[in-house]
Structures are given as structure tokens and as C-alpha cells.
Amino acid sequence: MIPIIIDIVLRTGDIALAAVALSAGYSLVKFPNIALMQYATVGPFLAYLFASWGAPLVAAALAACIAVGLIAVLLNITVFDRLLKSGSAIAMIGSLAAGMLFTAALLVTAGPDSRHFDFPVEAPLNVFGSPVTGPQLLAVAISLAAFVLLAALLFLTDIGRCMRATATNPDLARATGIDARLVVRVIIFLSGVLAALGGIGIAVKGELNILMGQDLMLPVFAAAILGGLGNPMGAIFGALVIATAETLAATLNFGPLIGKAFLFIPANYITAASFLILVLALLFRPHGLFVNEVKRV
Amino acid sequence: MAETVLDARALRKSFGAHLVLDDVDLAVEAGSIVGLLGPNGSGKSTLLNVLTGFLAADGGQVSLRGSSVGALPPSSIARLGLVRTFQLPRMPSRMSVREVLLAANRAQGGLFDALVGRPTDTARTDDLLEQLKLAPVADQPASAISGGQKKLLSIAAALANRPSVLCLDEPTAGVHPSLREHIVAMLKRANAGGVTLLIVEHDMGFVRNLCRRCVVLDRGKLIADCPPRELTEHPRVVEAYLGRKVARPVVEVPA
Amino acid sequence: MSEFALHVATIAALYAMLALSLNLQAGFAGLINFGQIALFGCGTYGAALAFSHALGPLAGFALGLVLVVLVALLFARLGRNLGADYWGIATLSIGEILRTIATNEIDITGGAQGIGGIPALFDTGSPLSGRLILFAVVLAALIATWFAFRRLTQSKFGLSLRLLREEPQLAAAFGYDLDGLRRRIMLAAALPAALSGFLFAHYLTFVGPDQLFASETFVIWTMVVVGGLGSHAGAVIGAIVVQCLFALVPFAKDAFGLPSEFVAAMRLVLIGGGLIGFLLLRPQGLIPERIGGVRG
Ligand SMILES: Nc1ncnc2c1ncn2[C@@H]1O[C@H](COP(=O)(O)OP(=O)(O)OP(=O)(O)O)[C@@H](O)[C@H]1O
Ligand SMILES: [Mg+2]
């Protein structure tokens, strides 16, 4: 049981940051930004680059997150804001195309091979009788710290209040003197930072390669949609659901259900679990688990 | 006594805690022209939305020629002949005015009709464009014409749809007086041809000219059902429009 | 060299059919399909499965049709209560699920190795003349698709599609059954896509899941956006332009002595850059949609 829970927590951490980033961005700029998945790839690569120049890992990671946040803001101003005038679907296609350009850039500069962050190899720690490595703990700590900071920012600070006000009703917020453009930029910056941080979290406990973002895409979308796109805290819950489903699909023995001794879902189908949840969610709860559909004229 | 085509019973609709339709009963006779009046925000557009299936009612039922349509999607209700226009018509930007009008008449518009190349009846379209003075802009993108012209186009489109009951949401708001005459004439002609009309309108002249029966909504309740000339005498109508303490019944309804 | 030109022309024509199909959905009806390649895959696997069960190409085509109708109906059903962007994500995931199935049901689909040795459709003794005939067939299929789609969109049915794309509420007010429209348009668009897949399988003689990556869908998207959403000629020209550029990439690599990553990166730049560049600078595409062309 304990190993399953640990797996779920680790997997939730993988998905949740990017899902929160997607949802937070969507709350103010109404299109699903596929390029975020590439932010989660570019982030660890930049951190790796800075670390290879001799920066300590924390500083490298921080610098990479800020750089990605700035890239996100820049792309929003130059590309997505303009595309959004032609509709959210067009903006989504544009974000997909931007993602391809990132992949191309990484392919030429970093190449297709996987890399690792250099950590001194230590014996794994013992958590309730299960082995957990230092980097894994670090990744979970990164996610938790990010959530706490984000929640504090959203619910305790002035800028957070402005963000939530702008997300609910941009016109009203503007009328009350909130600088909506600034609020949007701050949120976009944060979504870039969160996505990059998510990617770094995945990379420190495993490897980094240019396909990371692509592999992340559908689980992240599934998590964000389950939580209700535009609801960042819901996305964490969505990530938990997806991680649980994936982990259970991977470890549970379904044999007894059909009267056989053993039946495990083939490993290759486990990635498809989140796709399937996504399709089911879109069929039956397109606005997330928490919201019933509101019909408007 | 003519037969009832459109019959609404005990309709209720609320948005959150805000009750917008409160037990509304409305029976519309075949071939009649009924005016639907009421102050801003009294629930007129909401009533049209519920009648035509664009909003689901919280309670009550709607029937068209005796059969219930409450559970049907708006497109099915329109196909049964209950057609409506919108208060703020939105028009497509990559279709011409003429194309919108052509599309409004569904006859021979199927996939199969297209494959066998069945021709469409364009004479009626040209006629409608002429009548509503839309011919000069017929080939402009439908979203690029003026607000009043959009209103005209939406009425023309609804008529091209060949409805049996037509609900119009403020057909003359924003339309030049000279064109109002055209609209009145056109609606009278449609009515003479058998189309039942339910018209939301603030302009009393228009209502007097066209309707022989008016119903008045106030804060979601039907407060009056009488000929237009009796409205000025109707105490609850006066109260709804002018507030409680007015003694002298003057009605010049706000536009 | 002429064999290479024939190859590029055949692939371009097959992709042009896919582009016409996507353009009918996205350009005319506003259906943002990110799973287009799955429709194509129904055709390729129809041909491959029929072959591996020792059935003839006719059975393969029929099987492809059955598969594609099912997938198209599933797509249309999902479109019932989803906005355009959500639907894009839904179709993308279905495409990925189908690719996962194709990769993992090794007993049926041959898994990642795919199914090879599918015979050429026209066995004339010489491979080149067989390929020439196939090209002629592909070209005929492309022209037939173009003609049929033009007929569709020039009719009142085409008007209802454009109304669905821009003002679905108005379409509903006119009495158009939006679910039915979506279903019909998905079916109409799915047939040429499956046909393209079927011909592709018999042309390449090999079918595998790697042909069904989501990135292939975005290649088709680039063709449609570059050519012009809502223009049939645009879709065909976009397909030709993109395929010709793709064909040039390996030459450029050899000419400049670039590493092999360059080919993959260059394809990404062409697709991504083409999409962004056109969406930003020329959203109407090379051949803009004609407004007011339908006069009854
Ligand atoms: N989609 C909605 N969500 C929440 N409240 C709504 C919605 N639509 C209408 N309302 C509320 O319902 C009430 C009635 O609105 P409705 O549009 O029916 O009024 P109306 O009689 O047509 O007014 P007007 O003459 O200004 O057009 C209003 O108070 C409005 O705020
Ligand atoms: Mg109104």
C-alpha cells in the first residue's frame, strides 16, 4: 500500500505543476496553451545549461524558471494575444506551432539524447519501509513549495485578489481600477515559472529529453480539465485523480474481477489511462468534476 | 374562438436566486398578433428563450399545437414552426447577407440535395432583400452591416424560414421610422398568410398599430392581458411602469 | 530522379486528400479536428488487416470504411457538448488512444513493427508502371473529392456548415440540427481520408503505428492553414507546397553537410513556422475563402 501511495504522490507532482500552470493561464487568457508543455521541457534544459556553467543547482533552476516565465510573457504579447482575436481554437493551434519551434530549437542545440542532472549517488532513504531517493523527495518538496506559494499569492495578497477579480469579470475589474494587462502578465509569467518548475521536478528525479513535454501533454490536459479549466487549485485535484488512476492501472491485479488469478493491464496501455479519463471527462463532465454545465443564451 | 397554437403553463425560470419567470401562463391563438410588453429586465427575452427551447425552464410546460415541446432542443422546435429572432442579432462575418438569407430557408439544404445539385429557390430571397431595402448590401459580409440592418436581416431570415409561429424580440429597436412601416407591413402580410406573431416591443405606436392583444410582464409575473388601448387604464401596468404612487395614468412607454 | 518526383507527387496527392478533408471540417464547419490522422489510419489499417487475414483489397477498403465511420461518429458525438478548443483536445486524445491500441495489440496489428508486404494494387509486371497507374488512381480520387466537396460547399448545405462555424445559435434558430450537421460533415470528410489511407497502404506496402503520430495531423493542419482555411484550392496547394518543401529538406542537408538532427528539426520548423507565420501575417492563407460565392 505504502509504495502505491508514494508512486501516486510522485506522479501527482509530475503532472500537477504544469496542470496548475495551464489552468491559471486559462483563467485569464481563454485558450488552452499547448506551448506550456514545451516550457516544461525548456525549463530543465536551461537549468541544465546554467548548472553546466557552474551555477549551483538551486540558482540554475531559479534562473531557468525566470527565463521561461519571461519567454511566456513575451510569446503572449507577440503571438497569442494577437491570435486570440481570431478565436481560442486558432490561438491553441498557434501555441502548438510555437511548441514545435521550441522542440526544433532544442533538437538543434541540445540534440535528441537524454541527460541527467549530476547528483552524488546516495543510498535511498527509507520512508515507511519503502525506498525513496533524495531527488524524488526534492521533486515533491518543489511541488509542495510551489503550491503553498501560489495559494498564498492567490488568496492572501492584493495581486492575487486582483487576479481572481479579473478572471471572474475582466470588465468589472478594469472599471474598479485594476490594471488588467498587468495582472494578465503576472499570471502568464507565473504559469511559465510553474511549468518550468514542473519540468525541473521531473528532470531531477529522472532524466531530461526533448520529448518530456509531449509525454506530459495529455495527462496534464486531463488533470486540468478534470479540475475545471481556469481553476488552478482544481488542477491539483485533477492531477491526483490522474496519478491515482495511472498508478492503480499499473499495479492492481484485475484478475479476481473476471475470475482469473492474474490480470494486469499491459504496461503500454497505462499511458492511455489518462487519455481515456480525458475523453470520458469531456463526454460527461466537460467543465470539470466540480461544475455542472451552465446553459447560456 | 380560434385554436391555441402556443400554450405555456406555469413557466418558472430563475438564474441563481433571482426568479425571472414566476408562474407565467400564456396561450396564443392561431393567426393572432400578441404584443409582449414590460419594463427592462422584466423577463421578456427570457420568456422567448424558454418558449423556443434556448433555455430550459425550471418548471412548467410549453406545447405547440397540443404537443409538448419542453424537452426538445431549439433546432427541433424551430423545425416544428416556432421560430424566433434575437434581441441583439449576431451575424456571421464570412457569409454575405444573401447567403444568410438563403441559409435561413432550410428547404433543399441537405447533404443529399447538395450532392445531386438540386437548385434552390432564389426568387423569394431577392424579394425579401428588396422589401427590406437590403438589396444594396446583399453581397456584403453579414457582420459588416449596421445594427438596424442586422435587425432587418434577422426578421427577413426568420420569415424566409416559413414559420407558423414567429417570436420577435424588439424587431424595431434601432430601426429608422420609415423602415418600421415596412416591417409593420411585412408582418401584417405574413400574418394574413397565416403566421401567428408574438412580439416583444417597447414602442407603443408599433404595438397599437399591429396587435389586438397585449400581455405585460413585470418582474417575472404576467400582470395584464388586454387590448392595447386598455393598457393606459390598467392599474397594475401603470404601477409597473411608473411606480406605485402615480395617480394620473400617462403611458408613454420608455424605449 | 523521375521516380523520386513520382513519389513526391503521389504522397502530395494523398496528403491533399487529407487536407481537403480537414479543410471541410475545420475551414468550413469550424470543427478543430486534432485527430485527423486517425481517420487516415482507419484506411491504412483496413488495408493492412484485410491483407494479414488473406482478404482482398476490396475487403480492406470495406473494413477501412467501417472503421472510419465508427471513428467519425465518435468524434461527432464528442462534439455535441464541447467548445471548439475542448473538442480539439478530445480528438487528439482519441487519436493517441487508437495509436496506442495499434502499437500494443501485437497479435492483430503487428504492434510497433506494423504490417508489411501489402501488395501493390496494380500488378503490371513492372513496378514503375504499377506506380504510375496508382498515381493516376490517386489523382482521380483527389479530383473526385475536390469536385464533390466543391459541390457540397457551394450548396445550401455548405451555407449551413458556415453558419454552424460562425453562429451556431443562429443555425439552431433556423432549425438546423447541429448534432446532425456535425455527424454528416464528419462522415463526408472521413471517407476521402480513409480512401487516402487505403491507397497509401497499398502504395507504401507497409502500415505501422509510427504513421499515426499526432505530429502528422499537424502537418495536415499546416497545409490547410497555409493554403487558406475554407478554400479547397488552398488545401490542395498547401499540400503541394508543404510536401515539396519536405522533399527538399534532405537535399539541403546534404548540400550543406548538416547533421541528421537537422532534418527532423527542419520539418518541425517548416510546420510550426508555417502555422505561426501564416496565422499571424496572412490568416486568410494563400487562397482566401470566397465570401458571397453562393447565390442559389
Ligand atoms: N443568462 C443569464 N444569467 C443571469 N441572469 C440573467 C440571464 N439572462 C437574463 N438574466 C436576468 O433576468 C432578468 C430578465 O432578463 P430579460 O433579458 O429577460 O429581460 P427583458 O425583459 O428582455 O429586458 P429588456 O427589455 O431590457 O430586453 C434580468 O434581470 C437579467 O439580469
Ligand atoms: Mg430583452
Contacts of C281 in chain A (CB under 8 A): none
A211 at interface of C, judged by CB pairs closer than 8 A = no
User: What per-residue confidence (pLDDT) applies to A293?
Assistant: 44
Residue from B99, B134, B166 to probe the interface with C (highest C Cβ count within 10 Å): B99
B52 at interface of A, judged by CB pairs closer than 8 A = no
User: What per-residue confidence (pLDDT) applies to C42?
Assistant: 97
Contact C169 B104 (CB under 8 A): no
User: What per-residue confidence (pLDDT) applies to A158?
Assistant: 81
Q: What 3-state class would DSSP assign to A114?
A: coil
Lookup: cell for B198:
408574438
A11 assigned to some structural domain: yes
Confidence (pTM): 0.91
Residue from B64, B75, B113, B122 to probe the interface with C (highest C Cβ count within 10 Å): B75
C288 at interface of B, judged by CB pairs closer than 8 A = no
Here the ipTM equals 0.90
Amino acid (1-letter code) at residue A287: H
User: What per-residue confidence (pLDDT) applies to B243?
Assistant: 67
What's the whole-number mean pLDDT along residues C46-53? Answer: 95
Whole-angstrom distance, CA of residue B116 vs CA of residue B251 = 58
In sequence order, the 6+-apart residues with CB closer than 8 A to the CB of A59 are A50
Of C93, C104, C169, nearest to A279 by CB-CB distance is C93
Whole-angstrom distance, CA of residue A273 vs CA of residue A271 = 5
Residue of B nearest to C153 (CA): B114
Whole-angstrom distance, CA of residue C196 vs CA of residue C206 = 14
Question: CA C268, C94, C72: angle at the middle one, nearest 5?
Answer: 105
Closest C-alpha to ligand 1, atom 27: B40
A297 assigned to some structural domain: no
A119 assigned to some structural domain: yes
Please give the number of the atom of ligand 1 that sits closest to the Cα of B42.
21
C160 at interface of B, judged by CB pairs closer than 8 A = yes
3-state SS record for A40-52: HHHHHHHHHHHHH
* Structural domain of C75: 2-212
Residue C271 to chain A, least CA–CA distance (Å)? 7
Which residue from C18, C25, C69 is spatially nearest to C162, judged by alpha carbons? C25
Which residue from B61, B101, B53, B102 is spatially nearest to B81, judged by alpha carbons? B53
Q: What is the sign, positive or negative, of the torsion defined by CA atoms of A268, A271, A277, A278?
A: negative
Contacts of A90 in chain B (CB under 8 A): none
pLDDT by position in tens, chain B (length 255): 578 999 999 999 999 889 999 999 999 999 999 999 999 999 999 999 999 999 999 999 999 998 999 889 999 999 999 999 999 999 999 999 999 999 998 877 778 777 777 766 677 888 888 888 889 999 999 999 988 889 989 999 999 899 999 999 999 888 888 888 888 888 999 999 999 999 999 888 888 889 989 999 999 999 889 898 888 888 888 777 766 554 444 455 554
Q: Which residues line ligand 1 (CB under 6 A)?
A: A 296; B 15, 20, 38, 40-46, 87
Residue C191 to chain A, least CA–CA distance (Å)? 24
Collect the ranges in chain A with pLDDT lower than 70: 121, 291-297
What's the whole-number mean pLDDT along residues C37-60? Answer: 95
Contact B75 C152 (CB under 8 A): no
Cβ atoms of B5 and B65 closer than 8 Å: yes
Residue from C167, C231, C284 to probe the interface with B (highest B Cβ count within 10 Å): C167
Question: Would strands B196-200 and B33-37 be described as parallel, antiparallel, or unpaired?
Answer: parallel
C290 assigned to some structural domain: no
Residue A248 to chain B, least CA–CA distance (Å)? 39
Q: Can you list the alpha helix ranges (DSSP code H) found in A158-254?
A: 158-168, 170-175, 180-205, 212-226, 232-251
Contact A295 B49 (CB under 8 A): no
Amino acid (1-letter code) at residue A39: Y
A96 assigned to some structural domain: yes
* Structural domain of A128: 2-212
A254 assigned to some structural domain: no
Residue of C nearest to A293 (CA): C81
Lookup: cell for B234:
390598467
Domains in chain A: how many in total? 1
Domains in chain C: how many in total? 1
Residue of A nearest to B16 (CA): A294
A273 assigned to some structural domain: no
User: What per-residue confidence (pLDDT) applies to C237?
Assistant: 97
User: What per-residue confidence (pLDDT) applies to A295?
Assistant: 41
Cβ atoms of A11 and A248 closer than 8 Å: no
Contacts of B49 in chain A (CB under 8 A): 297
For the cut 70, the answer to whether the pLDDT of residue C58 exceeds it is yes
C211 at interface of B, judged by CB pairs closer than 8 A = no
For the cut 90, the answer to whether the pLDDT of residue C30 exceeds it is yes
Residue of A nearest to B54 (CA): A297
User: What per-residue confidence (pLDDT) applies to B249?
Assistant: 46
Contact C173 B95 (CB under 8 A): no
User: What per-residue confidence (pLDDT) applies to B119?
Assistant: 67
Beta sheet of B165-169, edge-to-edge order: B82-84, B165-169, B196-200, B33-37, B213-218, B221-226
Question: Would strands C115-116 and C206-207 be described as parallel, antiparallel, or unpaired?
Answer: antiparallel
Residue C81 to chain B, least CA–CA distance (Å)? 13
Residue reference for cell 478548443? C85
User: What per-residue confidence (pLDDT) applies to B255?
Assistant: 46
User: What per-residue confidence (pLDDT) applies to A291?
Assistant: 64
In sequence order, the 6+-apart residues with CB closer than 8 A to the CB of A273 are A245, A246, A249, A265
A262 assigned to some structural domain: no
B100 at interface of C, judged by CB pairs closer than 8 A = yes
A259 assigned to some structural domain: no
What's the Cα-to-Cα distance from A19 to each of A131, A180, A200, rounded to whole Å? 27, 23, 14
User: What per-residue confidence (pLDDT) applies to A151?
Assistant: 84
pLDDT averaged over every residue in chain C: 92
For the cut 90, the answer to whether the pLDDT of residue C27 exceeds it is yes
